[in-house]
């Protein structure tokens, strides 16, 4: 695409956040200078496979990588098979649990396939940072560490808070920024993308590139995507995530459950809309010309369409309108035949309507379970064989039938 440099900068910096306006201005200026050279830039982002599934929070930087691709630049998708063994401390008030190499390799198997829901596989360079990090010897690590002081690490917010509380800061946590910085050297990166709280790690890459005689990369960081609770970072462990492999109806329904105030965050970070379209949607919400429900439906359709296609997005929207706006029961409910009375918690878990029995118990106690039109709040409730509809939360239905 032959897009003017100024317009490229506007597109690529949209949604970026550094916590400091001067840093943002400096990085935008450096990006413009790189683009003016007239060559494709090498742009990368790393993803540690600490869990097997990619959720919408991961796709914030993937969408930005795709924008670079669409503008003719080289996208590098780095899977952190080595850095994940350390664990990024950037957003943590305590050390991350350290997975085994076997867990990391198992999780990494599906990452590329999931990422290609967003990235163009023909224009994506996939790398595993174990390729180079596993070959470093102790002398190499000493040379990398000699570029930094302990004080530089301790002034980071998360380490400073832990130090003040007297909580442990483990020595291996310091090495994460060194390893991520060395990725930039080995990739000869022009640009690195990451989360706002990872800025220290990205700047470490600039420092190491300079020490290796390379021009320092441009760093572009983005705020976190809040989860479906509208407050906390999207995380599978928190249960507030939207997985990119989830069925269209589930994905659509989860987006519709977002608090209204979370929508601008999603507009900026996980849609394919242009900066002008995003600005118009935000303005319409503010002046009342766009109802929050309608804005959320447009957002839900856009997200489902981007991962499952237009037909699936239309069907998910139709399903939502029928079930939640018109009060109809879905016509594609799974069925289960009961031969004998079964405990409500056991039934929810065995039907796959909750990931664990403890979660099933919480759903019952929170009043999120209905049998036909009756709310079930007793975890000892026994469900008798017969015709009924079990509803868990807003989106999960099960049609019960007697055996035979």
pTM of the complete model? 0.75
Q: Where are the alpha helices (DSSP H) in 37-90?
A: 59-70
pLDDT digits (tens, 9 = 90+) for 261-295: 999 999 999 999 988 999 999 999 999 898 988 99
Q: How far is it, in rounded angstroms, from Cα 354 to Cα 350?
A: 8
Q: How far is it, in rounded angstroms, from Cα 363 to Cα 296?
A: 25
By the 8 A CB rule, do 370 and 344 touch?
no
Q: Give the range among 107-111, 211-215, 329-333, 342-346 with minimum mean pLDDT.
A: 329-333
Would you state the pLDDT for residue 314? Answer: 93
pLDDT digits (tens, 9 = 90+) for 154-207: 888 778 888 888 888 888 888 999 999 999 999 999 999 999 989 999 999 999
Between 157 and 129, name the one with better pLDDT. Answer: 129
Closest-CA residue to 241 (of 394, 59, 46, 14): 59
Would you state the pLDDT for residue 92? Answer: 52
* Start-to-end Cα distance in the chain: 63
pLDDT digits (tens, 9 = 90+) for 333-353: 788 888 888 899 999 998 888
pLDDT tier, 238 (very low <50, low <70, confident <90, very high otherwise): confident
- Say if residue 324's pLDDT is above 80: no
For the chain, list the domains and their CATH numbers: 5-222 (3.40.50.620), 248-325 (1.10.240.10), 335-402 (3.10.290.10)
Would you state the pLDDT for residue 398? Answer: 85
Would you state the pLDDT for residue 352? Answer: 86
Q: Express as a percent the part of the chain with pLDDT over 90.
A: 51
Q: What are phi and psi of 55, to 5 degrees?
A: -115, 180
- Say if residue 69's pLDDT is above 90: yes
Q: How far is it, in rounded angstroms, from Cα 81 to Cα 53?
A: 15
pLDDT tier, 213 (very low <50, low <70, confident <90, very high otherwise): very high
């Amino acid at each position: 695409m032959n897009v003017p440099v100024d317009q490229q900068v506007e597109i690529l910096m949209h949604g970026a956040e550094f916590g400091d306006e001067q840093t943002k201005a400096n990085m935008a200026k450096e990006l413009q200078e790189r683009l003016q050279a007239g060559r494709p830039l090498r742009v990368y982002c790393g993803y540690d496979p600490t869990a097997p599934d990619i959720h919408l929070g991961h796709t914030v930087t993937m969408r930005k990588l795709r924008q670079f691709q669409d503008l003719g630049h080289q996208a590098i998708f780095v899977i952190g098979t080595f850095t994940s063994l350390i664990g990024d401390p950037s957003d943590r008030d305590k050390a991350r649990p350290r997975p085994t190499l076997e867990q990391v390799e198992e999780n990494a198997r599906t990452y590329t396939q999931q990422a290609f829901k967003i990235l163009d596989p023909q224009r994506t360079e996939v790398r595993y940072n174990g390729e180079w990090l596993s070959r470093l010897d102790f002398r190499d690590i000493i040379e990398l560490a000699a570029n930094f002081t302990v004080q530089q690490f301790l002034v980071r917010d998360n380490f400073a808070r832990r130090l003040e509380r007297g909580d442990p800061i483990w020595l291996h946590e310091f090495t994460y920024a060194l390893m991520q910085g060395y990725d930039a050297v080995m990739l000869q990166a022009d640009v690195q993308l990451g989360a706002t709280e990872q800025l220290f790690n990205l700047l470490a890459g600039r420092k190491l590139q300079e020490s290796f005689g390379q021009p320092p990369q441009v760093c572009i960081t983005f705020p976190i995507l809040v989860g479906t609770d509208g407050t906390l970072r999207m995380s599978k462990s928190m249960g507030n995530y939207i997985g990119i492999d989830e069925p269209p109806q589930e994905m659509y329904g989860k987006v519709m459950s977002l608090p209204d105030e979370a929508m601008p965050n999603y507009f900026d970070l996980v849609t394919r809309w242009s900066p002008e379209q995003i600005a118009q949607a935000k303005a319409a919400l503010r002046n009342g010309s766009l109802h929050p429900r309608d804005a959320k439906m447009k957002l839900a359709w856009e997200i489902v369409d981007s991962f499952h296609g237009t037909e699936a997005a239309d069907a998910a929207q139709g399903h939502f309108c029928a079930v939640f706006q018109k009060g109809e029961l879905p016509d594609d409910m799974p069925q289960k035949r009961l031969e004998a009375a079964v405990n409500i918690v056991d039934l929810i878990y065995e039907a796959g309507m909750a990931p664990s029995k403890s979660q099933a118990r919480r759903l019952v106690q929170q009043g999120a379970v209905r049998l036909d039109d009756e709310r079930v709040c007793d975890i000892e409730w026994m469900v008798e064989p017969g015709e009924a509809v079990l509803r868990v939360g807003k989106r999960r239905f099960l049609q019960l039938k007697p055996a035979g």
